[in-house]
Structure 1
Amino acid sequence: MSNAVAPHLTGLRKAAILLVQLGKDASAAILKSLPEHEVEALTAEIARLEGVDVEVLDEVLEEFRGLAKARQYYVQGGVGFAEEILVATMGKEKAQEIMDRLTASLVELPFEFLRRVDAKLILNYLQDEHPQTIALVLAHMESEQAAIILSGLTSDMQAEVAHRLAIMDRTSPEIVKQVESHLERRLSTLVQAADSTKVGGLKPLVEIINQSDRTTERMILEGLEKRDLELAEQVRAQMFMFEDIVGLEDRAVQVVLRKVESKDLAVALKGVREDVREKITRNMSERAALALADEISILGPVRLKQVEEAQAVVIRAIRMLEEAGEIVVARGGGDEFIA
């Protein structure tokens, strides 16, 4: 990795950026395997991440790729390897045809940089250009993005651009390149702003925690509280905790209960606050509530980990129903045993 762009990055910051890029599922699995102090440090760093320049992001990923490549058992690949396979499989002539198409597909398309800029901002720069230039640019853009630009032009300019676009056939690559370079220079500040990618922050941290098991979740939140109480409270406010069930509407609780098995519910309610248990039983039939109470009483002491796993089952059901739009959730803010 070159240090020209990001000499200031600590190993912790690089790891935080990488975790966000890997996504919530992979990040949760990684955090679960780390020591508690490393989980605390990483989650705090993820929460503090804001805009990260694309070049910095690329360098972090490149360093990770370099480290991975250094492990000799990783599979080799690349264009050369692909060509060798094709030649061995179907002969040199046919392989060359396929490789020509492949190589063409790997080349960046003209005006590719515009995909990273808001269409309305592009319109501000394009509307004073010659109609032929506008038509040429629109011809190389995604139709949705091009439609926004075309609709923002004056009616006379719309007609002129549409006509030129319709009769356009082939354009010299040199001319396309000249127009592209001209436009890229004019839009350089916008492209740079678009290239500053927002990674990290509360939202991805909450998503990672939501995919973690309850033990890891508790460990992360307790660690954040030690480091930054205000930040921990902000994270909790965006999460759904088991005790937040008391804030659900009764109808929502009834929908949730239909998705959870009674054995999981019984374990989940071991040692919870009375108002949480009462919220559950109030939304069950009298017979079902009595059966649940009996099931809880015969469980005996239950490991805290088992209780948290059962609560996670209930929380997953709530999140699934919320995502499906079936319920509305208002966000709030040695082995232990629950007798």
Structure 2
Amino acid sequence: MNSLPQSEMLAVLLNLVGGEAASSALSGIPEETSRQVKATLEEFKTHPPTQDEVEYVVDDFVKYFRFAMKTVDQKMAQDDSADSEEPEDETPAPKIMQLAEEDFEVEIEPEKKFLPLKETGNHIQDLTRLHPYQVAHAIRNEDALIISIVIRNLATEHAAKTLEFLPDTLRPAVFLQLAQPCTVSNEVLQRILETAVQIAKRVEKRENVVDAAEQMVTLIRSVPKHIRGPILDELQKTDEELSNKVKAQMYQFDDLSLLSDRDLQQVLGQTSTDSLASAVQGIDSDLMEKILGNMSKRARAAFEEELSFKGNVKQDEIDMGRAEVVRALTELDEAGTITLE
């Protein structure tokens, strides 16, 4: 989620109207705000506002305009009627000139369509006008050097968002290239940027990204256990990396709540008291009650004593503790000792 200051909201709007209208508007606002808006407008000459920012500002202005027109209509109707009642209070519409900075928030939707790009001939400006998702999509199959050349020519925030949309495996190599000086000629640079613009502008919408491993886990867990083995074996042969990710996600700590009392006792018996005390930090009270209810008096006393010594447990300790519980759960389920459906 990106925060958009009030002065920048005004600057985006004035950048759209331009000319005398912008100058007239600037003369009617407080001096400090006017100074900030002018500085932002100057920055827009090299780094124009993004498509998300423009859409948000326009939407907000349209809401305010409609509200204003509705208010005018109501006022006219009241003037025409001598015995009209007082109007009910209404929640004020957004006012671009009055909202506090914390109200200006632009949330990028997980799936959206992009407006067609009107090219300016300046490839850097055109790239900045495109959504970071479009730029990342255009360069994601390129060499890390090419990607770094494009990114280093973007505004800082735009570059950061573009990096965020790149595959995880690409980012380290791109960062290494960004640390090196760029030695390409201007002619080559312009050709690279132009190509990126042409590819990026053809990306018409942002799709929901579904993690392949997560999708596979959902499917495999939905089939009978005797079918899972052959599926995982075949996946291991064709895509070892994906297979390992699927196996790592097949079992979760919260699966303890799905076990029968007998099976839960088996898992607890294969887990050290120290690891379990770390693993249960912050868990649901119902699951905690179930775990305690399946311990012997001696084991429960030792466990509660261990809990009293824990204090503030770091997240990595919690993760390690839960990993040990999940390992025990996995081994027992795959061996057929317990039943997890």
Answer 1 or 2: higher relative contact order, Cα 8 Å, separation at least 6: 1
Same fold (TM over 0.5): no
User: What TM-score do you get using the length of structure 2 for normalisation?
Assistant: 0.31
Query: When you count helix as a share of all residues, which structure comes out higher?
Result: 1
